[in-house]
Amino acid sequence: MRCLHKQVTRSPLLGSASSRRMEIMRIVSEAQELDQAAVDRSATVMDSNPPFFPTYKSLFSSRGSMNDEAELLAVECDLPLVDLGRLNGKLEAKQCKQDIITAATEWGFFQIVNHGVSNSLLARLRRQQVKMFRQPFKKKALDFSDDSYRWGTPTATSLKQLSWSEAYHIPLSSANKLARTSTSRCVIEEFSAAMAQLANQLVDTLAEGLGRDGTYIKENCTRNSCYLRLNHYPPCPLPGEVFGLVPHTDSDFLTILCQDTVCGLQLKKAGRWVTVKPNPNALIVNIGDLFQAWSNGLYKSVEHRVMSNPHLERFSVAYFVCPSIETLIHSSALPAIYRKFSFGEYRQQVQQDVRLTGHKVGLTRFLA
């Protein structure tokens, strides 16, 4: 902010009253400009956020806290940390793979460093992401040619079913349709390619831990079925009443998450919610429902959520390893916990449950 005060040297030849009057008028004018600039900045931020209150007015009229379910004072934890650089050494590679398998079995979540995705690429993606969410709300749906921009929870019938967030859901097959800028398109393309390579490396290791080959997953989880999700969680004035993202598990094989330094992500561990401590140097990996079924329950798809924040906004990017809808999911282990099902069947059941009950039921619908 520029300083409004300035030392004035008066000339004895000039009328003092006239000089003072001109100086006061200048200061008042400059102050008004600064005030208007502040108002404009505030309006820009307000115009960019979705209209949660007007849209979900009926839900807010019957407000109620999340009670014990929220556990706002959840214990903070460090996820298992795996250095993928160890995969390059013959002596350390075996232990590194075992660390990944153990984390997927015991936690369902883990962090990775030396993952091969450059910090400069992550920084460029974050800058483009912020620009996309900073534009006026009415323009966001124009960034893609389809319905990629989403916000809130259209099916919510209570506050605990509402997610105070907005996102761009970007199928990789349509990433080149990004309309806003060529810069955004290029960064998203580059990031997607890096994520695909990293995901294949993780899939191979996790499949090896089951005594299986990762080729089936990689052949069915291609650019035509995987997608990115750019997330933005605006400050929420009702943090104890509304989630940033409601509790859920991921309906995919694997998710790779890049988040900022604002706390919010929580997962369930031993029946309790714990807060994931942000690590700016790591990416987060979590097992999805399909990998849990494919591993016959060995790898865990863990329930997680994002808590809202009254003061700070939060950004994250998730890469989802999803198959084509006709891909069959089944375990080679016997006895099988889950029956054989297609991804299309699973997704349809999840959507039906959310529509009818307000929440996802998931794999329990597919027990053998």
pLDDT digits 0-9 by tens, 31-41: 344 334 333 43
Catalytic residues: 314
Q: 304 and 248 in contact (C-beta within 8 Å)?
A: yes
| Average pLDDT along the chain | 86
Percent of the chain at pLDDT exceeding 90: 73
List Cα–Cα distances, 359 to 45, 206, 292, in angstroms.
Answer: 31, 29, 19
Rg (CA), the chain: 25
Task: Give CA–CA dist 241/16, Å, rounded.
Answer: 60
Contacts of 166 (CB under 8 A, 6+ apart): 49, 50, 133, 140, 149, 150, 151, 152, 231, 232, 234
Q: What token pair was written down for 174?
A: 């349509």
pLDDT tens profile 274-311: 999 999 999 999 999 999 999 999 999 999 999 999 99
Q: 126 and 174 in contact (C-beta within 8 Å)?
A: no
Which of these ranges, 66-70, 143-147, 214-218, has the smallest mean pLDDT?
66-70
Confidence of residue 6 (pLDDT cuts 50, 70, 90): very low
Query: How many other CB atoms sit within 10 Å of the CB of residue 49?
Result: 18
pLDDT tens profile 182-191: 788 899 999 9
**CB pairs under 8 A, 24+ apart, for 51-55?**
51/137, 52/152, 52/162, 52/164, 55/152
Q: Which helix (H) or strand (E) holds 258?
A: strand 254-259
pLDDT tens profile 330-355: 999 999 999 999 999 999 999 999 99
Cα-flanking dihedrals φ and ψ of residue 343, to 5°?
Answer: -65, -35
Q: What is the pLDDT of residue 129?
A: 96
Confidence of residue 272 (pLDDT cuts 50, 70, 90): very high
pLDDT tens profile 169-211: 999 887 666 545 678 889 999 999 999 999 999 999 999 999 9
